[in-house]
Amino acid sequence: MLRRLGIRGKILAVLAVPLLVLFVAAGVISAQAQDQSRRAAAVQTLLTALGDSRELVGALQLERDTSSLLADPNPSHSSIDVATNAPQVDGTPEKLAAGGTARQKTDEQASRFERDLKSVEYDLLDPAARSAATVAETALKSLGDSRKAVDGAAAADPTSIRGTSTTLIATHMQFLERAASLLANRAVALSLAAPVAADHVVEYTDRD
């Protein structure tokens, strides 16, 4: 083919080969950079959801405590006055108000958690991330049944209600641990694992 070209054409043809290689290489590098950028964005949205899950655990722990007191038929069982750190016996109106406030906080955190989970591009992450998120999101559906049991307090079993809440809390703690273990950045993974360790202490103390 080169024999049919003039001198200028032959020179341009020779120069075109490395230029073509450069264009192809630039395209590959650009595609890789774009892929890395998308993966970084996916990790960031997952981190946001993990932060939501951490806040949700705290809200669920509070709702568990207020629900247990509301369902408990023994009025001598006390809650703690947060101002004095002393035991106090709450009346039914106070228990209802505390329970309503706790539920509202849980609902807010759960809504934020579910919203941010939907924004995660799981196709760019380890498949285990999607699995862990699905388990955590599905577990939230048990919250409605638990609340119905509390609202029918005359027939409610405080131990059962507390156990259901504890199971839900444990599921979200496991989600945090599993998702954190999938992160390549170990410093970030450890920063997420530390609060979960504290939650484990709280849960262990709650069993006493």
- 206 or 90, higher pLDDT: 206
Using an 8 Å Cβ cutoff, are 125 and 32 in contact?
no
pLDDT level of residue 49 (50, 70, 90 thresholds): confident
Return the pLDDT at 87.
52
The mean pLDDT value for 123-145 works out to 88
pLDDT at 22: 46
Bridge partner list, 87: 80
Asked whether the CA dihedral 200, 145, 162, 106 is positive or negative, the reply is: positive
The values of phi and psi at residue 158, to 5°, are -55, -35
Are residues 80 and 87 in contact, defined by beta-carbon separation less than 8 angstroms?
A: yes
Mean pLDDT within 9-33: 48
Name the amino acid, one letter, at 46.
L
DSSP per-residue string spanning 62-104 = HHHHHHHHHH---TT--EEETTTTEEE---HHHHHHHHHHHHH
Q: Is the dihedral of CA 17, 18, 20, 25 positive or negative?
A: positive
Tell me what percent of the residues of the chain surpass a pLDDT of 90: 9
Whether 163 shows a pLDDT value over 90: the answer reads: no
Query: What are the tokens at 147?
Result: 């609340």
Rounded to two decimals, the pTM is 0.71
Mean pLDDT, the chain, rounded, equals 74
pLDDT band for position 15 (cuts 50, 70, 90): very low
Burial class for 165, CB neighbours closer than 10 Å (0-12, 13-18, 19+):
buried
In this structure, are residues 113 and 52 in contact, taking their beta carbons and an 8 Å threshold? Answer: yes
Provide the sign of the torsion angle of the four alpha carbons 119, 176, 58, 102, taken in this order.
Answer: positive
Q: What is the pLDDT of residue 47?
A: 85
Q: Could you tell me which of 20, 33, 125, 159 has the C-alpha nearest to residue 133?
A: 125
